[in-house]
Chain A
Amino acid sequence: MADRAVQIRSWPGVIAAAFVAVLILGTLIAVVLRAEARAGLGPSDWAAIRFTIKQSVMSAVLSVALAVPVARALARRQFFGRKMLVMLLGAPFILPVIVAVLGLLAVLGRNGVLNGALGWLGLPEVQIYGLHGVVLAHVFFNMPLAVRVILQGWQAIPAERFRLAAQLRFSPRDMWRVLERPMLMRVVPGAFAIIFALCMSSFAVALTLGGGPKATTVELAIYQAFRFDFDLGKAALLGCIQIGLAGGAAMVALRLSSTDSFGGGLDRTVERWDAQGRGQTIWDGVLIASAALFLLLPLGMIVGRGVQGVFEMPVNAWWAAAVSLQVSLVSTVVLLLLALPIAIGAARLRLLESVGVLGIASSPLVIGTGLFVMIYPVADPIALALPVTALVNAVMALPFALRVLVPAVRDVVQDYGRLAASLNVTGAVWLRIVLLPRLRAPLGFAAGLTAALSMGDLGVIALFADAERATLPLQMYRLMGSYQTEAAAGAGLVLLTLSFGIFWLFDQGGRSHVDA
């Protein structure tokens, strides 16, 4: 094995991973200890567990299945606006739930664009509420993310391999067998596991678009246990189940994913001689156009709804935007401190990556409550609101960062490990001149994603927040709760712009020398 060839220090990664595990499991234990009564699960909880698994599996399968052809089309086509489109793929994922849902409904709802068009054509109305609505919304959130992750997989295949394939007159079938299928085996299981875990903890989307209590998820059951029954024991139990399911899925996915590298290349621009047929060009065009439409229509609606409201935003919403920006930058730093060691360590100890999934699999409410219970006896939780939010957001973003960083680190180790070892390049020097330069793109993407995600996340802030230190998403909910629909839509747009802007800055910074 190539990873034996270079001395990788895995202990910093082990420490970082242990920190994350202690944080998440510790909060669970804190909640259990604080519980007064211990209750078992009722039939409605089991129904919630079944529904959660069902919708998560469907959402993850569909997101990935749709993402593969779209990523493939994007990987082998060059067109005007391609860079912009690839960037925009990050947008739905970082939107606050309610903003995205209203955007989706403006297109697909009873009063939406689609039904307007259908009515005009004299066709029957399309109903979005139900299981299919939940899955559709989750696909809207996660498919673009899957496209980005899989696209990165395609781009990890060096241009030289395609050149060689063209010289050998590979048919599309050979291409699939020799290059694309092995690459997908590397990236798809991980993408699936992340999306599965993400959909597990969905709550407001599932309830709103699910059309009623049939669409009760585990996260809602946790919320009910906490808010309605104040049964902390049950909240923690459900929290464990959620982590167990998502964590289990992540383990299986990691096991399934192969670790073969495509070897190093010279970072030339990829040219695809294999995909120049007319039929393929049209097919790719159709795929890209429909994905773009599915993505951009709701986003366009959000922008349209928000423009007016931006001018009606109160001053403190702008302050909240500044607070959010601050939280998001701190989160990004924390994330890099955790993700980089874990990714390096995971090149050797593969299990380390699964720690990341704990973050998204765990219920924000349980983490929030657990941290609150832990902090309360020693300090004022409200004073610690922002650091806590930054930390939790970083942990929540960890799996995404790891998903892009781990394969990249593994490649560097496999491709340059022997050379580095023979030149006696180790430790900090290896980090500086070998690893980090080659990680630039995935690091930029990971940092951008974290910053954006942290900007839009309500997460744990609700338990800790006070009026002065509210983040923008929280402020937006408060505006909505005070009939200020327009100002709230404005805040949503500002949030989208900020999240997207910061994502763009980081991502662009990482890719500036690469033709992505």
Chain B
Amino acid sequence: MSQDDGPVEPEPVKTGGGKVLEQSGLADPAGTNRANLEDAMKALTFAAGVLMATTALAETPVLTVYTYDSFVSDWGPGPAVEAAFEEVCACDLQLVGAGDGAELLARVKLEGARTDADLVLGLDTNLTAAAKETGLFSDHGVTADYAMPVAWDDATFVPYDWGYFAFVKNADLQSPADFKALGASDLKIVIQDPRSSTPGLGLLMWVKAAYGDEAPAIWEGLSDNIVTVTKGWSEAYGLFLEGEADMVLSYTTSPAYHLIAEEDASKAAAPMSEGHYMQIEVAGKLASTDQPELADQFLQFMVSDAFQSIIPTTNWMYPAVTPESGLPTGFETLISPEKSLLIPAAEAASLRDQALEEWLTALSK
């Protein structure tokens, strides 16, 4: 069943009794000499059938997954993932969009152990330490052959895709080789605020991972290149497409969207010699789930081909496990960074506040 087949909500047809009984009722020709008792019996069985169907409907297990908004959008992986998983799980997968990654965590914290969610999908390594600290998540037993530049051994969270942050530019623009050269250039960039945006925080960690104590100097160098700082990715990317800046903070995979979906090869990512900071997106099972088996099944499904082959051209990220069919044509044109940078989850949480302070100081001058 493809995703275009319409709604994949549970229907009585799929769940047994109701339809069959309805047919047997119709098959009975009117006006035959049947005993009243028989009529009464039929009415009774019909009623029972309807009742059974309703019970069956109610018993279809519901798996609730909180995720970020763009995951559930029409162009996101949501619709295809829902269809694919419901084909194998005999359940109703409900994807609930709740802002972005960090808002997702805030939402789960707000709801606490009483949450309806069984799984949370869409946190990244900047958030996993804080998420683990809440004690709301439980460990998984998923194993997979990950195709990521770093080894994965987190007991609580399962990765489903990853990517590199990068500045996206017009392909014909000669971009600087590193952050120092960018700071010295008069190129204009637009970035996101680390306080309100995931890529914004990514850039903060990128500069910190590459330069450590030198990070404030790098930010001071960049301060006159930054046209503006936006609330989220959408605003920043919108400004870039409107020509407000030469480069925008996004992902190395962004040009793949323009190439594959729009057949437009005019965008490219600017390779930086310091290496590129990684984002690994993960999902985790909530300890309070009332569907633990189904949640485990989903996590295992998440690293399978059916899920992973959806990711590249819907979420525009690299799949955590390379699907058998490989990456879609077009992905081979993307830059592959010489070095992958990633601050381990445990350190990321403590470095974050210091890096933010440096960023605020350097850019508020």
A contact set with B: CB distance below 8 Å: 34, 44, 47, 98, 101-102, 105-106, 109-111, 129, 203-204, 207-214, 220, 223-224, 226-228, 230, 314, 316, 369, 372-373, 376-377, 380, 382, 462-463, 465-467, 470, 474, 477-485, 488
Pick from B96, B116, B195, B316: contact of A224, CB under 8 Å: B195
- A213-B360, A482-B76 known; A208+B228 contact, CB < 8 A: yes
- A105-B242, A230-B109, A482-B73 known; A110+B188 contact, CB < 8 A: yes
For B228, list chain A residues within 8 Å (CB).
Answer: 129, 207-212
Query: When chains A and B are docked, how far (Å) is the Cα of A227 from the Cα of B193?
Result: 12
Query: When chains A and B are docked, how far (Å) is the Cα of A377 from the Cα of B193?
Result: 33
Q: How far does the Cβ of B11 sit from chain A's closest Cβ, in whole Å?
A: 17
- A111-B244, A207-B229, A382-B96 known; A481+B70 contact, CB < 8 A: yes
For B298, list chain A residues within 8 Å (CB).
Answer: none
Pick from A109, A220, A477: contact of B196, CB under 8 Å: A220
For B352-365 the 0/1 string (1 means CB < 8 A from A) is: 00000001100110
Q: 27 pairs across A/B with beta carbons < 8 Å? A: A105-B239, A105-B244, A110-B188, A110-B227, A111-B242, A111-B243, A129-B227, A207-B228, A208-B235, A211-B226, A212-B228, A213-B360, A213-B364, A214-B364, A230-B130, A316-B74, A377-B114, A467-B72, A467-B73, A467-B96, A470-B97, A481-B69, A481-B232, A482-B75, A483-B75, A483-B254, A483-B316
Q: How far does the Cβ of B234 sit from chain A's closest Cβ, in whole Å?
A: 4
For A488, list chain B residues within 8 Å (CB).
Answer: 238
For A483, list chain B residues within 8 Å (CB).
Answer: 75, 237, 254, 257-258, 261, 316
Q: Which residue of B lies closest to A111 (CB)?
A: B243
Q: Which residue of A lies closest to B356 (CB)?
A: A228
Is there a chain A Cβ closer than 8 Å to B231's Cβ? yes
For B78, list chain A residues within 8 Å (CB).
Answer: 467
Q: How far does the Cβ of B218 sit from chain A's closest Cβ, in whole Å?
A: 15
Interface pick from B33-41, B48-56, B100-108: B100-108
Q: Which of A34, A129, A467, A484 has the most CB of B within 10 A?
A: A467
For B102, list chain A residues within 8 Å (CB).
Answer: 227-228
Q: Which residue of B lies closest to A223 (CB)?
A: B196
Q: A101-B235, A208-B228, A467-B96 are in contact. List 10 more A-B contacts (CB 8 A).
A: A105-B244, A207-B229, A208-B230, A208-B231, A213-B229, A223-B196, A227-B103, A462-B103, A467-B95, A488-B238
For B70-110 the 0/1 string (1 means CB < 8 A from A) is: 10111110100000000000000001111100110111011
Query: When chains A and B are docked, how far (Å) is the Cα of A50 from the Cα of B99?
Result: 29
A98 with B238: CB separation less than 8 A = yes
For B338, list chain A residues within 8 Å (CB).
Answer: none
For B232, list chain A residues within 8 Å (CB).
Answer: 481
Q: Which residue of B lies closest to A470 (CB)?
A: B97
Is there a chain A Cβ closer than 8 Å to B233's Cβ? yes
Pick from B107, B196, B364: contact of A47, CB under 8 Å: B364
- A47-B364, A208-B231, A480-B238 known; A110+B109 contact, CB < 8 A: no
- A481-B73, A482-B75 known; A213+B193 contact, CB < 8 A: yes
Q: Which residue of A lies closest to B196 (CB)?
A: A223
For B334, list chain A residues within 8 Å (CB).
Answer: none
A-B interface, 7 closest residue pairs, ranked by CB to CB distance from nearest: A111-B243, A480-B234, A482-B75, A481-B70, A224-B195, A478-B73, A467-B72
Is there a chain A Cβ closer than 8 Å to B213's Cβ? no
A369 with B110: CB separation less than 8 A = yes
Q: Which residue of B lies closest to A129 (CB)?
A: B228
Is there a chain A Cβ closer than 8 Å to B178's Cβ? no
Q: Which residue of B lies closest to A36 (CB)?
A: B109
For B22, list chain A residues within 8 Å (CB).
Answer: none
Q: Which residue of A lies closest to B103 (CB)?
A: A227
Q: Which residue of A lies closest to B188 (CB)?
A: A110
Query: When chains A and B are docked, how far (Å) is the Cα of A44 from the Cα of B363?
Result: 12
A203 with B244: CB separation less than 8 A = no
B229 with A44: CB separation less than 8 A = no
For A465, list chain B residues within 8 Å (CB).
Answer: 97
B69 with A224: CB separation less than 8 A = no
- A106-B242, A203-B231 known; A212+B364 contact, CB < 8 A: yes
Pick from B110, B193, B316: contact of A34, CB under 8 Å: B110
Query: When chains A and B are docked, how far (Å) is the Cα of A488 from the Cα of B241?
Result: 13
For B360, list chain A residues within 8 Å (CB).
Answer: 44, 213
Q: How far does the Cβ of B348 sit from chain A's closest Cβ, in whole Å?
A: 13
A102 with B242: CB separation less than 8 A = yes
Query: When chains A and B are docked, how far (Å) is the Cα of A469 from the Cα of B234?
Result: 21
Pick from B241, B243, B359: contact of A485, CB under 8 Å: B241
Query: When chains A and B are docked, how far (Å) is the Cα of A484 from the Cα of B195?
Result: 25
A204 with B235: CB separation less than 8 A = yes
For A466, list chain B residues within 8 Å (CB).
Answer: 96-97
Is there a chain A Cβ closer than 8 Å to B290's Cβ? no
Pick from A111, A212, A220, A462: contact of B363, CB under 8 Å: A212
Query: When chains A and B are docked, how far (Å) is the Cα of A213 from the Cα of B111?
Result: 31
For A101, list chain B residues within 8 Å (CB).
Answer: 235
Q: Which of B96, B228, B254 has the most CB of A within 10 A?
A: B228
Query: When chains A and B are docked, how far (Å) is the Cα of A377 from the Cα of B227?
Result: 45
For B116, list chain A residues within 8 Å (CB).
Answer: 380
A477 with B234: CB separation less than 8 A = yes
Query: When chains A and B are docked, how far (Å) is the Cα of A224 from the Cα of B245?
Result: 26
Query: When chains A and B are docked, how far (Å) is the Cα of A109 from the Cα of B188?
Result: 13
Query: When chains A and B are docked, how far (Å) is the Cα of A207 from the Cα of B74?
Result: 29
Query: When chains A and B are docked, how far (Å) is the Cα of A355 from the Cα of B66?
Result: 37
Query: When chains A and B are docked, how far (Å) is the Cα of A282 from the Cα of B76?
Result: 55
For B254, list chain A residues within 8 Å (CB).
Answer: 483
B244 with A227: CB separation less than 8 A = no
Pick from A47, A207, A462, A481: contact of B234, CB under 8 Å: A481
For B96, list chain A residues within 8 Å (CB).
Answer: 382, 466-467
For A462, list chain B residues within 8 Å (CB).
Answer: 99, 103
Q: Which residue of B lies closest to A480 (CB)?
A: B234
Query: When chains A and B are docked, how far (Å) is the Cα of A483 from the Cα of B227?
Result: 21
For B109, list chain A residues within 8 Å (CB).
Answer: 230
For B70, list chain A residues within 8 Å (CB).
Answer: 478, 481-482
A230 with B106: CB separation less than 8 A = yes
Query: When chains A and B are docked, how far (Å) is the Cα of A470 from the Cα of B107?
Result: 17
Q: Which residue of A lies closest to B99 (CB)?
A: A462
